[in-house]
A and B are shown apart, each in its own frame.
Chain A
Amino acid sequence: MALIPNPVLAETAVQAPSERVNRALSAARIVVWEWDLKTGQVLYSANAPDVLGLAAGPSEFSWSGIHPDDLANLRRVVDGAIAGRRDYVAKVRFIRPDNDALRWLEISGNVICESNAPKKISGITQDITDREEAEQAISARKAAEYELRVHHAELESQNEELRLARQRLEASQARYFDLYDLAPVGYLTLSEGGLIREANLKAASLLGVPRSSLADRPLSRFIFRDDSNAYYFLIKNLSKIGSPQACELRMAKTDGAPLWIQMDATASVDQDGTPGWRVVISEITERKHAEESLRQSEENLRRLLDQVREMNVGLERRVEERTRALREANRELEAFGYSVSHDLRAPLRTLQGFSQALLEDYPAELPPKACKYLERIGVAAVRMDELIQDLLAYSRLSRSELRLEPLDLFGVVREACQQLQAAIEESRANVEIAPLPAVCGHHGTLIQIFTNLFSNSLKFVSPGGRPAIRVSAEPRGALVRVWVADNGIGIAPEHQERVFEVFQRLHGLETYPGTGIGLAIVRRGAERLGGAAGVESEPGRGSRFWVDLKPAEDK
């Protein structure tokens, strides 16, 4: 658009341009005007009402119609042009007074001077709304194009990302496929009807078939016949309950060999919404074998245990029988002892009593030899009675139950001495008793032990000798050792054990009378009291008999 006013046009507009020019101006939406700065009159070309909605012809100049937002700028431009005597061009928005339509106007002015003073401005105003709108549309399209380009670039970059993601996905999928195929357990995907849709390599190798041949075959085909109930139960529970199910069953390989399997099944839904099952099968044949051998060894153990128990019962029965037999034997022994003490002694009394009666009643009629014989009969009877009494005492010691209690040993030993008082006095023996501790024992048995030991010491002295007995005690391990030492004839080492046996005698009856049971009673008695008895001796140098007893506090 030319900014320099066309003098021709300006002249023409003000000076009524031709019809042809008018048509052209209207077509170009141009109004020609002239503003007299002195009078303030403005003159518009005839097409002003049509183009701008303003009255044609001369009128008072006014800023009215100019958009308030653009007015200040326009006035500054116009004032600047007048002051500088320059031309100006301004673009403003304009509200038509006739229809209030908003239009874009381009106003061009040419300041005309007279004598170097601004006199008037002539110019044109063109309605450029169409152009403006087109330009706006273009710039809008340009903006849109730019946005589109940006968007495209974004899309491109997104696309790249997506491509990378897909690559990664593919890689990961490949990895998962590897994991899937090479997993140590078999994976199977089944349709809801139980047909195999997918299987990993392990599943195929477990079942002994190529993977390709598994597709669309029912899994039930691979279940060992006897265990098909377990499989159907699993499937039924899976459909009914929905939670993951597990069971142990045997599957059959294509060659028919059974295979122990742990089967875990879960319900699943495919991408396309088809329900199905995922089944994991792991081989547990070895575990089953181990379990089986464990079960068998447990069974064996149980059988063994039963046998042991049976044997025990048998053993207990035998022990019971033996005990009963022993008790029976003991009773018989008691009965035997009873009749011995009663019946065996009665004839002895008769022998002794009547031989003595003969001696007393018929002393004159009997020759001296007969008297001597009768005496011997009597002595033999008394001796046999002693034998029986000692034997009974010995057997009673073995049989009867002894209740042990704490006893004052010194008192017991003194009591035993008192029982033998007559013999002690007769032999003019010297008995010395050192202090003795309390022991755990049985009164009657201890009396028997010490009277027997003392009798022994009183008896076995050299002819004409005067017995000396010393009783003392000392601790011996957990026991108390009681010594009974004498000054008698002593016992040779080879006989020292024999003297404690029943009926063992070292001397003839004529030298040292006795039954040969006394020391056996000592030893048995000591044993029954939880102790022992023995002797230390040398021939000619006396004997030291010892009895080990439990101390009183050891009850």
Chain B
Amino acid sequence: MAPVVLLVEDNVDDVILIERAFEKARIVNPLHVAGDGDEALDYLGGRGKYHDRSAYPLPALVLLDLKLPRRSGLDVLTWMRAEPCIKRIPVVVLTSSRENVDVDRAYELGVNSYLCKPVAFNALLEMVTTLNVYWLLLNEPPSIMET
């Protein structure tokens, strides 16, 4: 089974559109969605309803929105980069913000890529397609087995 992609996104509309783009791009990797930062930490940390790693395995890629209720995307990133194993997981920021501060801050915290969600769906589809090709097919993933 193809490795999981974790989408951290609070906007249901965006979730639907990204899922649609995944579908249209024929991406075989299952897409798990965390609705906010806390849930993302629960999933990645295997806590609460995500304690079963076989049902909720560690993702091969995290798509991270920055503007989230409660814990922000940058907070999630900070937490991830401090975790022993999880810090190796590639993180791609997928957000509407193009503010320089956000971009620079995200790279400082160790993000692997920074993408802006386009308004036109076709552009989003193109972006997701490229994501798949690069991060899920071409890219050599780190080992993220938990010890």
Contacts and interface: CB of A to CB of B under 8 A. Distances in A.
Contacts of A334: 99
Contacts of A369: none
12 contacts: A338-B99, A338-B102, A342-B66, A342-B67, A342-B96, A346-B96, A347-B13, A349-B121, A352-B121, A356-B121, A356-B122, A357-B17
A379 to B, nearest CB: 10
Contact of A400 (B100, B120, B121): B100
Given A342-B66, A343-B67, A349-B124, 17 more contacts: A338-B97, A338-B99, A338-B102, A341-B96, A341-B97, A342-B67, A343-B96, A348-B119, A349-B118, A350-B17, A352-B120, A353-B16, A353-B17, A353-B20, A356-B121, A356-B122, A385-B120
A356 B121 CA distance: 7
Contacts of B29: none
B19 to A, nearest CB: 11
Nearest to B95: A342
Contacts of A345: 96, 117, 119
Interface string A342-374: 110111111011101100000000000000000
Nearest to A346: B11
A159 to B, nearest CB: 120
A353 B13 contact: yes
What are the 3 tightest A-B residue pairs by CB atom distance, in nearest-first order? A385-B119, A350-B13, A353-B17
Given A341-B97, A400-B100, A357 B119 contact: no
B95 A381 contact: no
A382 interface: yes
Interface string A504-542: 000000000000000000000000000000000000000
Dominant SS among interface residues on chain A: helix
Given A357-B20, A392-B98, A400-B100, A352 B119 contact: yes
B120 A342 contact: no
Contacts of B17: 349-350, 353-354, 357
B45 to A, nearest CB: 27
Contacts of B120: 352, 378, 382, 385
A381 B67 contact: no
A378 B122 CA distance: 11
Contacts of B67: 342-343
A357 B99 contact: no
Give chain A's interface residue range (CB within 8 Å of chain B). Answer: 20 to 34
B14 interface: yes
A447 to B, nearest CB: 14
A349 B13 contact: yes
Contacts of A389: 98
A244 interface: no
A337 interface: yes
Interface string B129-144: 0000000000000000
Contacts of B98: 341, 389, 392
A396 interface: yes
A348 B98 CA distance: 16
Nearest to B99: A338
Nearest to B18: A353
